[in-house]
Structure 1
Amino acid sequence: MGEQKRKEVSKQTTEFIFGKKNFTWMLIGLGVIALGFILMSGGGSDDPNVFNPEIYSWRRIRLAPAVILIGFGIEVYAILLNPNKGK
């Protein structure tokens, strides 16, 4: 009986804090954040003496920051998600 107990003690399992669901949601969140930064890019001018009003388009001022904030919300959800729930 002592031998079996010793085997149980020597057998170590490594368990991560985050599970596969957490990492999946984190990758989705990073993708949404990257999409927001891609939407925000562009609209500049090649000539510094010429002003391009396209930099203030609806996509760059409203949509892209909202998409980035949604991505950050997904990241918070991914961190707070309990990977053991539902097993």
Structure 2
Amino acid sequence: MAQKYDKPAGTPVSRPSILGDTKTTVAPEKIDFVFGKSNYQLLAISVLLVAIGFVLMSGTTDIYSNTKIVIAPLVVLAGFGMGFYAIMKRKTA
């Protein structure tokens, strides 16, 4: 079975008319993404927060430090929460 080939948007398309063949140009279609710019920015910040949290958790000295037990897990959870918010947030105009 042969595949149908469509011309890309924005290329001249010939359309027959009563007076003869005329060439018209179709306007290019606007690409609509699922997420907006702010969603991607928030997602990048959340990835950074998670990375910072894991860096705070790493290390070999003083296993029971306050930073490794309390602060770093809170930073990681904040990063995951922000990532969830970035995915669920509606796209702004």
TM-score by length of 1: 0.71
Equivalent AA in structure 2 for residue 61 of structure 1: I
Point out the structure with the larger strand share. 2
Which residue is 2:71 aligned to?
63
1:41 aligns with one of 48, 54, 58: 58
Which residue is 2:14 aligned to?
none
Point out the structure with the larger helix share. 1
Aligned residue pairs total 71
Fraction of identical pairs, as percent: 38
Q: Distance in 2 between matches of 1:43 and 1:56?
A: 10
2:86 aligns with one of 62, 78, 81: 78
Q: Which structure has the higher relative contact order (CA within 8 Å, separation 6+)?
A: 1
Equivalent AA in structure 2 for residue 13 of structure 1: K
Q: Distance in 1 between matches of 2:60 and 2:91?
A: 42
**Any stretches of 5+ residues in structure 2 without a counterpart?**
1-16
